[in-house]
């Protein structure tokens, strides 16, 4: 669960849509924000992370996890990162960027950085080739990012 824009956002299953993104306002009125993956399988939103007046999260549409955003008007969109990026994980926000672990077929899992304009690029191809470096446990310490 994450507080964003004076609402509480979370993943919930209403028995019809599967797990999708929901929110509740201050008067406890709750509703589904968007049915990302129609049907009872749901998109399974996870890793809700606030950055730059936007809520970012991972969710699956067609059996592949992607990066999504939700703005202050509850408009939810898929964030396209490069060509063929999938499996975003380990979302971590700083004051200037959103960092995450994501994969391509040619690089495997590497560390990616998304700017305030939602432009995303690989920080470095630490282990060239399809296996990737599999960064894990992103944290900030003394103004540096560790993983």
Burial label for 95, CB within 10 Å (0-12, 13-18, 19+), is exposed
pLDDT for the residue numbered 61 = 84
Q: Are strands 98-104 and 19-24 parallel, antiparallel or unpaired?
A: unpaired
**Are 68 and 56 in contact, with CB atoms under 8 Å apart?**
yes
What tens digit of pLDDT does each residue of 35-85 get?
Answer: 999 989 999 999 999 998 999 999 998 778 899 999 999 999 998 776 666
pLDDT at 31 over 90: yes
Prediction pTM value: 0.91
- C-alpha–C-alpha distance, residues 13 and 72, integer Å: 23
pLDDT for the residue numbered 56 = 96
pLDDT at 27 over 90: yes
- C-alpha–C-alpha distance, residues 120 and 86, integer Å: 13
């Amino acid at each position: 669960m994450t507080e964003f824009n004076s609402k509480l956002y979370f993943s919930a299953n209403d028995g019809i849509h599967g797990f999708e993104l929901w929110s509740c306002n201050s008067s406890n009125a709750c509703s589904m924000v968007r049915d990302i993956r129609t049907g009872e399988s749901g998109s399974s939103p996870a890793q809700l992370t606030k950055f730059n007046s936007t809520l970012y999260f991972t969710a699956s549409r067609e059996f592949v996890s992607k990066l999504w955003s939700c703005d202050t008007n509850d408009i939810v969109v898929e964030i396209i990162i490069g060509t063929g990026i999938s499996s975003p994980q380990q979302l971590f926000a700083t004051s200037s960027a959103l960092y995450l672990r994501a994969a391509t077929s040619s690089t495997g899992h590497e560390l990616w950085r998304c700017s305030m304009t939602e432009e995303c690029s690989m920080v470095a191809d630490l282990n060239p080739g399809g296996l990737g470096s599999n960064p894990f446990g992103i944290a900030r310490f003394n103004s540096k990012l560790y993983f």
